[in-house]
Structure 1
Amino acid sequence: MTIKPAEAATRLGSACLPALAARGIPVPTYPRQGAPGVVHLGLGAFHRAHQALVFDTLLQRGDTRWGVLGVAMRSTQLADALTEQGGLYAVQVASRAGSQWQVGGAIWQTAVASREPAQVVQAIAAPSTRWLTLTVTEKGYGPELGRLIAQGLAARHAAGLPGLTMASCDNLAHNGRQLQALCVNAARPRSPALADWVERSCAFPNSMVDRIVPAATPQRLAAAAQALGVADQAALGTEAFWEWVIERRFADPGDADVLAAAGVTVVDDVAPFEDAKLRLLNGSHTAMACLGAVAGWPVIGECITQPAVRSFIHGLMTHEVGPQLSRPDWAGYREALLARFANPALQHSVHQIATDSSQKIPQRWPPSVLGALSAGLPVDRLAFAAAAWMRYVRGCDEQGHAYAMNDPMAGELQALAQTHAGDAAASVQALGTLRVIWGEALPDNTRWLALVARQLDRIERLGVLAALTQLQAELDDA
């Protein structure tokens, strides 16, 4: 969704680029015509602040194969805004040291899958297309997506064209294998030969992508208009840090060196990086989102500046989650995360991060809880995070202000939380035994449930901040 800023004199477009370059703003200097080499499904802020900027770097180096057709799955507003701007958009890259605007130009065309499915199918089947990338969902891939991709691959196969590198950039475990299964299963009913070709000729690398990209706000769009002197309905902000780790599995093996030269980490096994991101970054983010929503801290930067919260998150990563990980530099990654969370320029909303928490938690917390229990590590902070989520789903903060929950289970969760409000043990029995969230083992683990109930009772009696302080004192004395 785009948010219209105050009117500026003109709209961002190709004609503006020389003036922007003269002001020291990096802009695309490469030709932006021709057929794209990449079809990207899931045209949103994250892709435009991450993979599209990697492709922009490659294009700036003269490699014309990385222009993008950006496909929005259903929403038309962003795709149409980008079309009006010739695919150009501004990105504010910010760190504690300052910020810099740049204009991304890798998106050459846009489409909307629900409105122009034939265009998407034709693009997948185009001779120029080499890659298909996705940032569609953290909820898992559905059959409708598989059918769309299979239709394009069928046309490609029928034309005798080579296979594609098909890179999922979604926050899903083993995302390349999940995408491969989706595409092969969608292709098989059309033709066993097609399914065999997809499996044999297309490459499905696992990948892990990492960059914090807050949702667009009117303030960000207004800041873009002021910095650029033109209106940009697709402007966004992000942090300086980015990471893309991808498995060495490409339809064109030469792409490995090309991507590595642009800063992408190409490895034989993505799993250690994927696991660290899900458990350290995403797991900590969800914990802070729940704490912030309940305490009334609106953004992550405000959460992490609370000494009790910073100590809690540092301890969560250091003592309960990190020791389980196989990423060799996890301690350095932890320190980078703490600095990133404190970036004052991001203004990353806790309610945005808490969106769909019932579908994110299964990947982010239970594996760490089970691993810690198995290894004899503490789980007190993980139990506190689980308790904070159970308090969060009640739908009101400690000041009594109601907030909307954006979650497919919102109605059921809120009803359970409100029915048992004030009774920690009953709340945990109702919310902590939902196997769709906590898996098969934790709902039957009485020790774990008792720990969560103790932390929820503490939050109910003392409030989030005092409960955190008491928990830390308890752990320091242990």
Structure 2
Amino acid sequence: MLLSKENLEKISSTNLALPSSASFELPERVIQFGTGVLLRGLPDYYIDKANKQGVFNGRILVVKSTSSSGADAFEEQDGLYTVCVKGLDEGKEVVQYTLNNSISRVLAAAQDWGTILAAAKNPDLKVVISNTTEVGIVLSNDNILDNPPSSFPGKLLAFLHQRYEYYQGDVTKGLVILPTELISDNAQKLKKILLTLAIQNELSDKFLRWLEEANDFCNTLVDRIVPGRLSAAEQKLTEAELGYEDQLMIMAEPFSLWAIETDSDRVKDILSFAQVDSGIKLVPSIDKFKEIKLRLLNGTHTLSCATALWSGFVTVKEAMNNSLFHGFVANLMQREIGKAILDQYIEQDDVANFSRSVIDRFSNPFLEHRWENIALNYTSKMNMRNVALLERWYKKNLVPPSYIALGFAAYLKFMDTQYNGVQYTQEINGQTIILQDEFAPLLFDYWKDKNTVVHRVLADDSLWGKDLSSYPGFEETVQRFLDEINAFGVLETIEKLNVAWQVEY
């Protein structure tokens, strides 16, 4: 039995949150550019949750950039899909199923542009959501009269202009625009592009004012692992448990965050779905959440990567099942990264709470994160995520950060590669890893002299933007850990360090 509106009454599973029949009649309050799993697993998940609680009471018109011949899965299933939330929450295993009914229609821009533009006249419409990848928010030479314009900003500008024209510049008909693309200041960059495009298209000064003044462009940060489709075997088992087939079923981890930058009462009123989940943060600035995520989640991933690989671990969950490595990750976050980023905005409770969520996320038994994949562009990640931590650490401490230094030493050992004339490779426990790192040739040359490699790499400001060997004791600590790793292995080196620091988790 295929999941559909008609077959809802035939579903008898008690492990599933079902939509009400009335939810199909809710008005379209959101237009969403993108059908990807992140959107369906995060903002659409929140909106459906709010609808089920009678709060937001609105559905989503989805615009997809790809065209399809004949009926697709969204049409066949009346927009319904299952969200399987699987993972750990405060160390306890969570498995929850929800039938999401937030999507009312899915239209292809190439085929249905006229219908999409007609939705601009909808008085109930309040919100724009997008996730068109990082390259989606770019300036083009779009003509908004094209059918459709080629870029996402071109499509959005055409849609907004249609709304402006229909409502004759009514300032109460502006929209709340929430891009979720993973770039800094995503909404402000989108707004700047729209204004430039509007000038290129010779649109009126009155429209430009309406675009700026009637619409709220809110920077956002999204954070949730949404792997998407289940494996074929897991899909089959889940469908057997729930009693229906679902071509759109997705999995998501329990943790979720959608930080939205606003201090507007109007925006807060429109985004009423924020009431239903503590993962939605309506705040005057999202900088705190960006910093916490970058340092505690991404930075920990990077500093842990080579230590895990040299310990023989293939996946993140496998590494977290080892008590020594678990202790390394916990102490790295709590004792060093967390202390480095504490300031007037980031408090100890922020660090403690997010660190615990990272432990749950890394330990998720339902996810297969391979350390080999995390090592892609390793040097750039180390620079972007962790070098600034050293400066902040040394502003507060006179001694070097041991866990950060150990992670850096393991990274240096990982960059001691072989070159076959085409690729730089690293072999660990019989497994050959092909490096995708633009700085691999430079590090390869530095490793030709093992006696000077630590100093030369740390002192190279072309890699880090500063001389890391200038931080008191850092070079010596990295060198000591590199020597210990070579002599005893990573896990024994971690064990000695963890003994020095009582493990908190």
TM-score, normalised by the number of residues in structure 1: 0.79
Residue of structure 1 equivalent to 2:36 = 44
Query: Structure 1: how far apart are the matches of 2:476 and 2:25?
Result: 62
Q: Deviations over 1:26-52 (max 9, x none)?
A: 122243367632223343222222211
Structure 1: runs of 5+ lacking an equivalent: 1-9
Residues 74 and 339 of structure 1, relative CA distance in 2, 3 Å threshold: same
**Alpha-carbon distance change, 16 to 206 in structure 1, aligned in 2, over 3 angstroms:** same
2:113 corresponding residue in structure 1: 118
Matches within 5 A, 1:97-108: 97-108=93-104
1:368 and 2:395 correspond: no
Determine the C-alpha separation between the residues in 2 that align with 1:359 and 1:215: 27
Q: Which residue of 2 aligns with 1:88?
A: 80
Partner residue in 2 for 1:165: 176
Q: Find the residue that maps to 2:393 and give its secondary structure.
A: helix
Alignment identity in percent? Answer: 23
Please name the residue that 1:14 is paired with.
Answer: 5
Within the candidate set 207, 223, 243, 2:220 is matched to 207
Alpha carbons of structure 1 residues 367 and 169: separation in structure 2 relative to 1, 3 Å: farther
**Pair 1:402-2:432 in alignment:** yes
Note if contact 2:55-2:273 (Cα within 8 Å) is conserved in structure 1: no
Query: Partners of 2:273 and 2:155 in 1: how far apart?
Result: 29
Correspondence list, 1:28-67, <5 A: 28-29=19-20, 30-32=22-24, 36-62=28-54, 66-67=58-59
- Residues 411, 344 of structure 1: alpha-carbon distance in 2 compared, 3 angstrom cutoff: closer
Matches within 5 A, 1:308-319: 308-319=324-335
Cα distance in 2 for partners of 1:88, 1:412 equals 43
Aligned-partner Cα distance in 2 for 1:58–1:282: 30
* 2:288 alignment partner, SS class: helix
Instruction: State how far apart, in whole Å, the 1-side matches of 2:187 and 2:309 are.
Output: 34
| 8 Å contact from structure 2 (residues 47, 102) kept in 1 | yes
| Alignment check: 8 A CA contact 2:82 2:246 kept | yes
Give, in whole Å, the separation in 2 of the partners of 1:388 and 1:217: 33
What is the deviation of 1:315? Answer: 2.0
Q: In the TM superposition, what whole-angstrom CA distance separates every residue of 1:265-308 from its partner, at most 9, and x where no partner exists?
A: 32333322332122112222333445445544233222222223
Q: Match for 2:495 among 454, 457, 469?
A: 469
Aligned mates of 1:76, 1:403 — CA distance in 2: 38
In 2, distance between residues paired with 1:446 and 1:391?
Answer: 21
1:183 aligns with 2:175: no
| Structure 1, 293-302 or 330-339: larger mean CA deviation | 293-302
Give the whole-Å Cα distance in 1 for the aligned partners of 2:115 and 2:390. 42
Equivalence for 1:130:
126
Measured in 2, the distance between the counterparts of 1:111 and 1:404 equals 41
Residues of 2 paired with 1:294 and 1:12: CA distance?
46
Alpha-carbon shift at residue 55 of structure 1 (Å): 0.4
Partner of 1:167, secondary structure, is: strand
1:322-350 Cα deviation digits (max 9, x unpaired):
12233332223322332333232334444
In structure 1, distance between residues paired with 2:121 and 2:227: 33
Aligned pair count reads: 459
In structure 2, relative to structure 1, the CA distance for the partners of 1:60 and 1:414 (3 Å cut) is: same
**Equivalent of 1:248 in 240, 245, 262:** 262
Structure 2 partner of 1:235 = 249
Choose 1 or 2 for highest CA Rg: 2
Match of 2:367 in 1: 346
Q: Pairwise mapping of residues 416-435 of structure 1 onto structure 2 (< 5 A)?
A: 416=442, 426=453, 429=456, 433=460
Of the three residues 136, 141, 149, the one matched with 2:156 is: 149
Deviation string 1:47-105 (CA, Å, 9 cap, x unpaired) is: 2222111100222234575322344556979x944444332222222333441222222
Contact 1:224 1:232 in 2 (8 A): no
Residue 303 of structure 2 corresponds to residue 282 of structure 1: no
What is the match of residue 7 of structure 1? none
Shift of 1:363: 4.7
For 1:180-210, what per-residue CA distance to the aligned partner results, in whole angstroms no more than 9, with x for missing partners? 3343344343347344332222112233333
- Aligned counterparts of 1:40 and 1:346: Cα–Cα separation in 2: 28
Residue by residue over 1:160-199, the C-alpha shift from the partner in whole angstroms, topping out at 9 and shown as x without a partner, is 3622111133444444434433433443433473443322
Answer whether contact 1:308 1:468 (CA < 8 A) is retained: yes
**Alpha-carbon distance in structure 1 between the residues aligned to 2:15 and 2:160:** 43
Structure 2 length-normalised TM: 0.75
Structure 1 residue 215, shift from structure 2 partner: 4.9
Moved more, 452-461 or 275-284: 452-461
Q: Does 1:381 align with 2:416?
A: no
Q: Given residue 26 of structure 1, which amino acid in structure 2 is its aligned partner?
A: A
- Distance in 2 (alpha carbons) for counterparts of 1:344 and 1:291: 20
- Return the alpha-carbon distance in structure 1 between the equivalents of residues 27 and 434 of structure 2: 43
Contact 1:214–1:347 (8 Å) recurs in 2: no
Equivalent position of 2:275 in the other structure: 260
Cα 1:24–1:320 shift into 2, 3 Å:
closer
CA distance in 1, matches of 2:379, 2:107: 31
The answer to whether the 8 A contact 2:58-2:102 is kept is yes
Equivalent residue for 1:327, pick from 313, 337, 346: 346
Distance 1:158 1:44, change over 3 A: same
Contact 1:295 1:397 in 2 (8 A): no
**Shift of residue 403, structure 1, vs aligned partner:** 4.1
User: Displacement of 1:318 after TM fit?
Assistant: 1.7
Q: Distance in 1 between matches of 2:228 and 2:245?
A: 18
Q: Report the 3-state secondary structure (helix = DSSP H, G, I; strand = E; otherwise coil) of the residue aligned with 1:31.
A: helix
Report what 2:148 is aligned to: none
Name stretches of at least 5 consecutive residues in structure 2 with no aligned partner.
Answer: 140-150, 418-424
